[in-house]
Amino acid sequence: MSHILTLVVDRTSATLSDAIIARVADAIQCRPVVLLSPGEAADLPCAAPPDMAAVAAALDGAAVDAIPTRARGRRKGLLVADMDSTIVTTETLDELAAFAGLKDHIAAITRRAMNGELDFPAALRERVGLLKGLPLEALEKTWAATVFTPGARELVATMRAHNATTALVSGGFSFFTARVAAAVGFDVQRSNVLLDDGRALTGKVGEPIQGKNAKLTALHELAAARGLKMAATLAVGDGANDLPMLLEAGLGVAFRARPVVAAEARAQVRYATLRALLFAQGYRLDEIVGTD
């Protein structure tokens, strides 16, 4: 079989029933079913690319993610992940802005930038400029409230255990990415730098700004360093600045993504946790390292 359709649910809120699996398998004529995690994930081997319209009709609105991949080379040697709203559950800059009483205003700019409606570097400079004078303790308070997305540690630990390089590449800031990378276990982290005077933010960001081209560049550079073809890479993100790397990677996954990203990405996860990215590579439950 040349292709695989992986069905995944969020095990904390749903069950992948035999009935749902059978309904999808019948709709696209893909068998035999391979259970990856009972009640959570299953593979359907297919002789051709699965008809995703037929899959959607068979699922009939059920909270099940369906991820199509090629059967060959499913396990990837490089992961490049976005941070905000991907590895962590929030937009850290928006949360930081709350300490300046500007969360709603800055979050509105963030939404437009992530939807591709604004130039990313210009929008970042604007948002950071509004935070001029914010005391540095606001950064520590924001970090203390930051929550990791379920499955993040499992994704990174499992891929590293199978000799993959893992990189956190963000349009956010090194104050947060350094801590997230250390806590989750990423090999590499790249991001922007918030400038300060030792007491408060200056309202400036270090140049050059890491935008969408930086993420794509990181994907290529890290793949080349490992001698990997693009087919052997995995990228995940949610915003418009992630889209170039998602389209270039061997497996590019839009994770609970903005509409403009979900519309263009070849694969997306709307319901499940980041464990879905492991199941999409063919990992079974007993191969997953650690628990979130």
Q: Which residue, 33, 55, 72, sits at the end of a domain?
A: 72
CATH of the domain at 184: 3.40.50.1000
Name the residue with tokens 């991949």.
69
Under-50 pLDDT residues of the chain:
none
- Using a pLDDT cut of 70, give the percent of the chain over it: 99
- Rounded to an integer, what distance in angstroms lies between the CA atom of residue 130 and that of residue 194? 13
Letter string b/e over residues 4-23, b meaning 16 or more CB atoms within 10 A of that residue's CB: bbbbbbbbeebebeeebbeb
Q: Which residue, 47, 72, 97, sits at the end of a domain?
A: 72
What is the extent of the structural domain holding 57? 1-72
The total number of structural domains that make up the chain: 2
Q: What is the CA radius of gyration of the chain?
A: 19
Write down the pLDDT at residue 213: 87
Write down the pLDDT at residue 278: 98
Write down the pLDDT at residue 290: 85
Q: Give yes or no: residues 62 and 146 share one domain.
A: no
- Nearest-CA neighbor of 156 among 189, 184, 180? 184
Q: Give yes or no: residues 37 and 141 share one domain.
A: no
Torsion angle of C-alpha atoms 122, 88, 116, 51, degrees rounded to 10:
160
CATH of the domain at 12: 3.30.70
Q: What predicted TM-score, i.e. pTM, was given to this entire model?
A: 0.95
The one catalytic residue in 82, 94, 238, 242 is 82
Task: Tell me if residue 82 is catalytic.
Answer: yes
Write down the pLDDT at residue 292: 61
Please provide the DSSP assignment of 209-234 as one string: ---HHHHHHHHHHHHHHHT--GGGEE
Write down the pLDDT at residue 112: 93
Q: What is the pLDDT of residues 88-144, one digit of tens each?
A: 999 999 999 999 999 999 999 999 999 889 889 999 999 999 999 999 999 999 999
Task: Tell me if residue 51 is catalytic.
Answer: no
- The residues with which 222 forms a beta bridge, in sequence order, are none
The one catalytic residue in 10, 43, 65, 84 is 84
